Amino acid sequence: MSATVQARTLRLGTRRSALALAQAQAVAEALRLGGHDVQLVEIVTAGDRSAQALTALGGTGVFVAELRQRLLADDIDLAVHSLKDLPTAEAAELVVAAIPQRADPRDALVSRDRLALAELPVGAVVGTGSPRRAAQLLATGLGFSVVPIRGNVDTRLRKVAEGEVDAVVVAAAGLARLDRLDEAAEIIDPAQMLPAPGQGALALECRRDDDSLATLLATLLDDESTRAAVTAERLVLARLEAGCTSPVGALADVAEGDEGPELYLRAAVVAVDGSRALRMSATGPVAEGNELAIRLAAQMIDEGAADLIGENP
């Protein structure tokens, strides 16, 4: 058993990017307000070191592997991840002890002249490093030229400012955490572009045997509604046997229904060239969120989702 939380400074592992540091600072501040000392430990991951596309690096987990290794080696006490970067399968010796209240899960468009998506001209060059975003952009039928880009948020926005691309699509939550949301021309309606499962949410991971820290994180920072929503989204992804770089979108909303809290779950699988799209939804009690996600994924598979995913590289 690790030392009690009160007797130690918590070593919080984070990626070194400006966005990751902003996320980690927010978590650290919440823990400090709870009376705990926190030290940030910056870690460079394989995804940060390489300029290759995420699909070429293996996609799932490229931003989290080093943080998890440092956790297992007891070099850090907890790690903060963007939840959408985490593989859907749990790590045997680690636990996601807290998922704080989610930021805006939607995608945002940053464009020259602040044009909305529907206002961009035919042939407009739109940059994204996400196969999910690329497929849904092509599926709009608006005639975009979608090009792959890598880099942090600042790098991507600079490509717009310098005219390398006409627009980029990024997570609205990332812009907000960097105080740059005012640069978005449009927050894209999920009816047009479903976000990645878990987008906008953070995951706080610690060693499974560190009971005192896991309890602290759950008590201080876990948000019940956010956990229910993102768990359902990620379960759809897992049941479709798709990774975090697959062209799969999912979004769950929790709202008060006539008989208690309800979960409205939407999911989409889109061909890489945008030529075909399968979109389905389901609603049910939050308490039955896992069963709802499993049923929705099964219905999508019955409608050909697995074949559609298999068409994508």
Residues taking part in catalysis: 85
- Please answer whether residues 97 and 206 qualify as being in contact, where contact means their C-beta atoms are separated by less than 8 angstroms: yes
- Please answer whether residues 31 and 41 qualify as being in contact, where contact means their C-beta atoms are separated by less than 8 angstroms: no
Query: What is residue 6's three-state secondary structure?
Result: helix
Tokens of 111: 């464009």
Query: What is residue 32's three-state secondary structure?
Result: helix
Give the CA diameter of the chain: 61
C-alpha radius of gyration, the chain, whole number: 19
Alpha-carbon distance 113 to 180, whole Å?
16
Q: What's 225-274 look like in SS3?
A: HHHHHHHHHHHHHHHCCCCCCCCEEEEEEEEEECCEEEEEEEEEEECCCC
Q: Got the DSSP string for 42-87?
A: EE--HHHH--S-TTTTTSTTTTTHHHHHHHHTTS-SEEEEEGGGS-
